[in-house]
Amino acid sequence: MSVITKDAVTTFITNAVQGRDACFQLLDKETDKDVIAKAVTDWWTTYMAPDTDDDEKTCMMRPSGNPLYCEEYVQMHTSGLIKNSSAKLVSMDHIRIMAGGQAAVVSVVEDQIFTYQGTPNEDRATVTFVLELLDGKLKIVHGHRGAGNPIPK
């Protein structure tokens, strides 16, 4: 791919959310932390940009404002503190192609269901991703999850 298109962004983000959901489903089925760590790391390296150095690490920002880097993302998923997880794409509300087709910003709405430290959460959350075309492939260079609201019944 030489420039980013809206169709490419739509396909990429849909696949990324489905892949993350598959990792979440694994948390309830698999007890081997190495298997979980490999699946989560594989997801991260497939969809997230590689770190260039300590100052340019790719991260997902939590609603608290605390960043999650690859290592922390894997630790969070292998901790045993998260159960009954799923992520479903509800809508893709905004896609903006920038930098001559080399970058994009996309805002999506996801239903994220999980139990963290025994507390159930059913969040409808807005997640914003910044994408960059790196070596001909789309990669997430930054993500930010807003605070969730209850999923409408």
6-25 per-position pLDDT tens digit: 999 999 999 999 999 998 88
Residue 4: what pLDDT?
A: 97
Residue 34: what pLDDT?
A: 93
Residue 127: what pLDDT?
A: 96
Query: Mean of the pLDDT values across residues 63-77?
Result: 90
Banded pLDDT at 80 (limits 50, 70, 90)? confident
Q: How far apart are CA 5 and CA 102, in angstroms?
A: 9
HSE, CB side, 13 Å, CA atoms: give it for residue 6: 6
Tokens of 7: 């169709």
Residue 130: what pLDDT?
A: 97
The overall average pLDDT reported for the chain is: 92
Strand-pair category, 59-61 with 137-145: parallel
> Does pLDDT of 153 surpass 90?
no
How is the chain split into domains, by residue range?
Answer: 6-147
- Architecture of the domain made up of 6-147: Roll (3.10)
**Cα 69 to Cα 31, 41, 75, 131, 153, distances in angstroms:** 23, 11, 10, 16, 33
The pTM of this model reads: 0.92
> Does pLDDT of 140 surpass 80?
yes
Q: How far apart are CA 102 and CA 153, in angstroms?
A: 39
Task: Report pLDDT digits (tens) over 81-121.
Answer: 888 889 999 999 999 999 999 999 999 999 999 998 999 99
Cβ-Cβ contacts under 8 Å for 14 (sequence gap 6 or more): 89, 92
Q: Comparing 97 with 80, which gets the higher pLDDT? A: 97
Residue 85: what pLDDT?
A: 87
